[in-house]
Amino acid sequence: METATERSWIELNIENLKHNVRILREAIPPACELMAVVKADAYGHGACATATVLNQMEITAFAVATVEEGIQLRKHGIRGEILILGYTDVKRVQDLQKYDLTQTLLDFAYARALNSRNAAVKTHIKIDTGMHRLGISGEEISAVRKVFEMKNLKICGIYTHLCCADSRLPEDIAFTRRQIDSFYRLTDALKNSGIQLPKLHIQSSCGFLNYPDLVCDYVRVGIALYGVSSVPDNEAVLQPALRPVLALKSRVVLIRFIGKGDSVGYGRTFVAGRDSRIAVIPVGYGDGFPGSLSGKNVSVLVNRQSVPVVGRICMDQLTVDITDAENVKVGDIVTLIGTEEEQNVSAPVVAQSAGSISNELLCRLGTRLPIVMK
């Protein structure tokens, strides 16, 4: 048994990742490029390993959340633009320069503070078109013009973020269209005032799948790159044939026989209604498999058979009822997220059962899980 798969592990299907890149490239406009979002360790997929594969496929634009994430990519040889989507202390301008990182300008005051460090740095201007989180207001055209005049800031891009692009409710579609119109009014005004526009980008995964007609230079593709939707029963306008890249796997390490009326785990939340066989699986919420799934009728796969999780999910292990399963033995592989032939436990379904979305579920998979490339 390989050391990496003795306990629990993340398994990445690299061919599925490459397939998703090809499918997405075919779907975006010819002049548009993919910007791969690899923040939060590439949504739990391993940022450096994933970005290396993407670099080999000639993807040369990446997005991260922090300066540390960008530095990690550079130290692993990742080439191309690396855009930091979030806050970086302006005192770290030397790191931005040293590692050739591109910083998002969070608002006008931040742009002015970064410019005052007297060090040339690449930037993208974030525009607030209604999400009201980060960015200069799309109505403050004069402020954006002034940013272009700041001598130490090289403006390489302008972008916004659509806050309800995943929704097909009429009111949310209308709001998204207002955001899009606000962004283009701003960029048109800049262009008309003689400013040469840098790279423009509006769409995240949901933004692209629901508004594929937009003309931009980048699509910031995150969750779609990894082949899953944020929620089950995705009703996006585009339905590309994407394939999940990640599987979460573990092993049966112990089988216990308990009698009718016996309980399993903390709080005695599961009491056997019959004589039962219980398998112990060494994975838990410390690995990122949510404890909130306890008691939610969640199942995992063992030997292509669906078996229910019973009792409370612990930090390091959980238990499943294998009474009705055949030929389960110690050492058998357990699939907690992923597919075994015709059986499937998808990330969106697992996440929904935990009261969350795939994005959160995947990016919280613990750092103690080794990653195995398939």
Convert the pLDDT of each residue in 19-57 to its tens digit. Answer: 999 999 999 999 999 999 999 999 999 999 999 999 999
pTM: 0.94
Query: Read out DSSP for 187-207?
Result: HHHHHHTTPPP-EEE---HHH
pLDDT band at 4 (very low <50, low <70, confident <90, very high): confident
User: Distance (Å, rounded) from C-alpha 281 to C-alpha 8?
Assistant: 9
- Out of 154, 266, 329, 374, the active site residue is 266
pLDDT of 234 reads 84
pLDDT of 233 reads 85
Beta strand 333-340 pairing with 299-302: antiparallel
CB count in 10 Å sphere of residue 243: 17
pLDDT band at 122 (very low <50, low <70, confident <90, very high): very high
pLDDT of 2 reads 64
Question: pLDDT for 290-347, tens place per residue?
Answer: 999 999 999 999 999 999 999 999 999 999 999 999 999 999 999 999 998 778 899 9
Torsion angle of the four alpha carbons 42, 102, 93, 194, in this order, in degrees rounded to the nearest 10: -160
24: phi then psi, degrees, rounded to nearest 5: -70, -40
pLDDT band at 61 (very low <50, low <70, confident <90, very high): very high
Q: Which of 83, 115, 338 is nearest to 218 (CA)?
A: 83
pLDDT of residue 1 exceeding 60: no
Query: Read out DSSP for 228-296?
Result: --SSSS---S--------EEEEEE--EEEEE-TT-EESGGG-EE-SSSEEEEEES--GGGT--GGGTTS
Q: In the predicted model, what is the mean pLDDT of the chain?
A: 96
pLDDT of residue 121 exceeding 60: yes
pLDDT of 5 reads 85
Q: Using an 8 Å Cβ cutoff, are 100 and 78 in contact?
A: no
Q: Using an 8 Å Cβ cutoff, are 73 and 47 in contact?
A: yes
Residue percentage of the chain with pLDDT more than 90: 94
Q: Is 39 among the catalytic positions? A: yes
Stretch 342-371: mean pLDDT, rounded? 93
pLDDT of 340 reads 85
